[in-house]
Chain A
Amino acid sequence: MTHQTHAYHMVNPSPWPLTGALSALLLTSGLAMWFHYNTLTLLYLGLLTNMLTMYQWWRDIVREGTYQGHHTPIVQKGLRYGMILFIVSEVFFFAGFFWAFYHSSLVPTHDLGGCWPPTGIIPLNPLEVPLLNTSVLLASGVSITWAHHSLMEGKRNNMNQALLITIGLGVYFTALQASEYLETSFSISDGIYGSTFFMATGFHGLHVIIGSTFLMVCLLRQLKYHFTSKHHFGFEAAAWYWHFVDVVWLFLYVSIYWWGS
């Protein structure tokens, strides 16, 4: 008998975990070479192999699920657990940066003047661009929910539009934040304020870019009719990730931009 008698997915051998691990090695050693010897070669190699691995691995997953039908309900359940656990790990990642921020800002040291913001730091006005950024991400949360409901109701045009709007808002946030970075009177090397500000908001911005990219991939797949009204886990995963990014921003806004000013 050549067919499996269970509903799970026994994945065919794949080179991508290996190339992924190798790319991680190139990325880390590349960073070290860049920091200490001012050479970018290894880092570029790492970025290239990393991008290639991601593209080919996820392309294979789309082939296995959408084209070959391997994503049965139980397989999808596993994918859901996986995405949830990944997002939980990201929560802990950000928790570290928030810990650093609160540790430094709740009991500011002498050299800062015993106050927060530290002496000499002029923080950004939380009621200007940062507030706009907050509204942009909240609106994107609404539009992505609209996209999801449209998808579930089989309303194709609405779904395409709403997803496009969500991506547009994500790009808008990134552009606004980039212009804010150019506007600050302080840099990452300006004491503990600069360090905590740029590490926390910087990694958040990176996650917005990652989330927007994930959503763009979903749009491309949607245009190619990959999703059905009942089965569209890739989109759900992107939506979960996007909501996570939004929530992190809310914490950042309240803690660093608002309370921290």
Chain B
Amino acid sequence: MAAPSMKERQVCWGARDLYWRCLDDNAEDAARCRQLRSSFEASCPQQWIKYFDKRRDYLKFKEKFEAGEFQPSQSTENS
């Protein structure tokens, strides 16, 4: 199985970007983006799909973290 060529990679990234944009517009509702999901899965290698999914989860976490949503609880303040 050869690694994807530049063209194939660009198709994959494009599909991923479309899918992610759909998720952004629909507040992470994967049900509304099923078509883009399947074209994303068709354009990218399996390992890349797993990686991109984990990457998105992390990026969403990072947004929340940088917005200050995770503060230490009162009980751990002085321990």
Binding site for B on A (CB under 8 A): 110-111, 113-114, 119-120, 187
B13 beta carbon closer than 8 Å to chain A: no
A119-B65, A120-B65 known; A187-B76 Cβ under 8 A: yes
**Chain A residues near B57 (CB-CB < 8 A):** 110-111
Binding site for A on B (CB under 8 A): 51, 54-55, 57-58, 61-62, 65, 70, 76, 79
Tell me the complex Cα distance, A158–B55, Å.
62
A/B pair count, beta carbons within 8 Å: 20
10 contacts between A and B (CB under 8 A): A110-B55, A111-B54, A111-B57, A111-B61, A113-B58, A113-B62, A114-B58, A120-B65, A120-B70, A187-B76
Rounded to whole Å, the gap between the CB of A119 and the closest CB of chain B is 6
Tell me the complex Cα distance, A110–B54, Å.
6
Flag if B65 contacts A110 (CB, 8 Å).
Answer: no
**Chain B residues near A120 (CB-CB < 8 A):** 65, 70
Rounded to whole Å, the gap between the CB of B35 and the closest CB of chain A is 26
Rounded to whole Å, the gap between the CB of B13 and the closest CB of chain A is 17
**Chain A residues near B55 (CB-CB < 8 A):** 110, 114
Rounded to whole Å, the gap between the CB of B16 and the closest CB of chain A is 15
Flag if A119 contacts B54 (CB, 8 Å).
Answer: no
Flag if A119 contacts B62 (CB, 8 Å).
Answer: yes
Best-buried of A110, A113, A187 by chain B (most CB within 10 Å): A110
Tell me the complex Cα distance, A114–B61, Å.
13
Q: Name the residue of chain A whose CB is nearest to the CB of B58.
A: A110
Closest 8 CB pairs of A and B: A110-B54, A110-B58, A120-B65, A113-B58, A119-B62, A111-B58, A110-B55, A113-B62
**Chain A residues near B51 (CB-CB < 8 A):** 110
Q: Name the residue of chain A whose CB is nearest to the CB of B62.
A: A119
Rounded to whole Å, the gap between the CB of B63 and the closest CB of chain A is 11
Rounded to whole Å, the gap between the CB of B54 and the closest CB of chain A is 4
**Chain B residues near A111 (CB-CB < 8 A):** 54, 57-58, 61
Q: Name the residue of chain A whose CB is nearest to the CB of B65.
A: A120
**Chain B residues near A114 (CB-CB < 8 A):** 55, 58
Tell me the complex Cα distance, A78–B3, Å.
61
Tell me the complex Cα distance, A111–B79, Å.
25
Rounded to whole Å, the gap between the CB of A191 and the closest CB of chain B is 12
**Chain A residues near B61 (CB-CB < 8 A):** 111
**Chain A residues near B79 (CB-CB < 8 A):** 187
**Chain B residues near A113 (CB-CB < 8 A):** 58, 62
Rounded to whole Å, the gap between the CB of A229 and the closest CB of chain B is 51
Tell me the complex Cα distance, A8–B58, Å.
65
**Chain A residues near B54 (CB-CB < 8 A):** 110-111
**Chain B residues near A119 (CB-CB < 8 A):** 58, 62, 65
Rounded to whole Å, the gap between the CB of A56 and the closest CB of chain B is 37
Rounded to whole Å, the gap between the CB of A236 and the closest CB of chain B is 42
Rounded to whole Å, the gap between the CB of A165 and the closest CB of chain B is 36
